[in-house]
Chain A
Amino acid sequence: MNNKNEWPLWEVFIRSKAGLDHKHAGSLHAADEKMAIENARDVYTRRQEGVSIWVVESKHIHASDPDESGSLYDPANDKIYRHPTFYNLPEEVKYM
């Protein structure tokens, strides 16, 4: 590893248009948050892909462990009654 002088890594999130969520677009290197936003504009929005940019230094992202996916999501597995399709309605009920 040889990254003593390297600019930190940032994750870029972009809102593609008003009303939508910010979505992860990719990452880039920048010295600080101001440069990260400017670089994000140049790298990820050259064709008007966004109306708003978030940048987060990558080291601040905490992620779930894929090897624990089984136990992490298990509690939701058998609760199909959380979905509307679980319930049978008489045909006369048209809108519900």
Chain B
Amino acid sequence: MTVHSFQEHFDNLIDREITIEPKDWMPDDYRKTLIRQISQHAHSEIIGMLPEGNWITRAPSLRRKSVLLAKVQDEAGHGLYLYSAAETLGVTRDDLYDQLHSGKAKYSSIFNYPTLTWADMGAIGWLVDGAAIMNQVPLCRTSYGPYARAMVRVCKEESFHQRQGFEIMLTLSKGTEVQRKMAQDAFNRWWWPSLMMFGPPDAESPHTEQSVRWRIKRMTNDELRQKFIDVTVEQAKILGLTVPDKNLKWNEERGSYDSGAINWEEFWNVVKGNGPCNKQRLETRKKAWDEGKWVRDAAMANAEKRKQRKEKAAQAA
């Protein structure tokens, strides 16, 4: 087949909603875009463990601690599923780590905000995981097989993440005045960054059209953001908390909430590395990687030694 007919065959599979698998021919841009998107997502899971890890030893009860530990462990797992999916596209794990550690690859900017109080564990689960789920559910039907299968697993596991966060918020909002205020404060700080998680507005998102065509993206940033706002505002009512947006108003005609303008300047500033915790997050991650080097080397040396011993024994027999 010529490149032209390969392309035609690929387009045909995409149009018929047939899954693309690692050994199938695919356009270079499709491969590159997927590697970028999947690895960004994997990095986000790995960096995403840090803000919550911060509270594991300070969880208010053994139950909360077990739950938080399980959630953070899931995030490690999700990072691993996604790195594996990216590796099927011909990039190595070490390359991916290099890209993260050198700052070349991005991760979700939300994790560059600090976790100041216990209520932040509630707000992150409820809002950040809520937004992530909204983003991820359509990706269970994405065109690239290994990615779609990883997302099915991730989504199945993630719904407990959001529920445990909502439960923390519910407990706080029904608690003492100080606890209620703590919940509202966390909500105030995490609401806008959560809305930014869906990415820049459609008008400024040049790759959206191509990605939707390839079924790497299944809904636009603005569509997903609106969906998240509509669902979350109702949940805030149950919590008795106030959405920190004076311009929020139900629009009868659209059947959706109208909301205030997002501070995109802040968003781009955090993306560029100037958020409150960018430096700290990356340094913590690099430190963990560097200090783990002797363990990785020792495990490899041990495996090598055991292999040689086995071979020798086989020869002697």
Contact = CB atoms under 8 A, between A and B. Distances in A.
A66 B23 contact: yes
Nearest to B297: A5
B157 interface: yes
B299 A35 contact: yes
B210 interface: no
B300 A5 contact: yes
Contact of B94 (A6, A32, A47, A66): A6
Interface stretch (A23-31, A73-81, A82-90): A23-31
A67 B300 contact: no
Contacts of B80: 28, 43
A55 interface: no
A42 B70 CA distance: 11
B311 interface: no
Interface residues of B, number: 30
Interface string B138-160: 00000000000110010001000
A29 B297 contact: no
Interface in B204-230: none
A32 B301 CA distance: 10
A1 B95 contact: yes
B1 to A, nearest CB: 8
Contacts of B302: 31-32
B95 A46 contact: no
Contacts of B1: 67
Given A46-B74, A46-B77, A28 B296 contact: no
A5 B296 CA distance: 8
Contacts, number: 61
A46 B161 CA distance: 14
A2 B299 CA distance: 19
B215 to A, nearest CB: 18
A66 to B, nearest CB: 5
B157 A47 contact: yes
- Tell me if A's interface is mostly helix, strand, loop or mixed: loop
A9 interface: yes
A6 B303 CA distance: 13
Interface string A20-62: 0000001111011001000000110011000000000000000
Nearest to B25: A67
Given A6-B92, A26-B84, A31 B303 contact: yes
A6 B149 CA distance: 24
A71 interface: no
A11 to B, nearest CB: 10
B81 interface: yes
Given A26-B81, A29-B93, A46-B73, A7 B23 contact: no
Interface of B: 1, 21, 23-25, 70, 73-74, 77, 80-81, 84, 87, 92-95, 98, 149-150, 153, 157, 296-297, 299-300, 302-303, 306-307
Given A31-B296, A66-B24, 4 more contacts: A1-B92, A6-B92, A7-B299, A47-B157
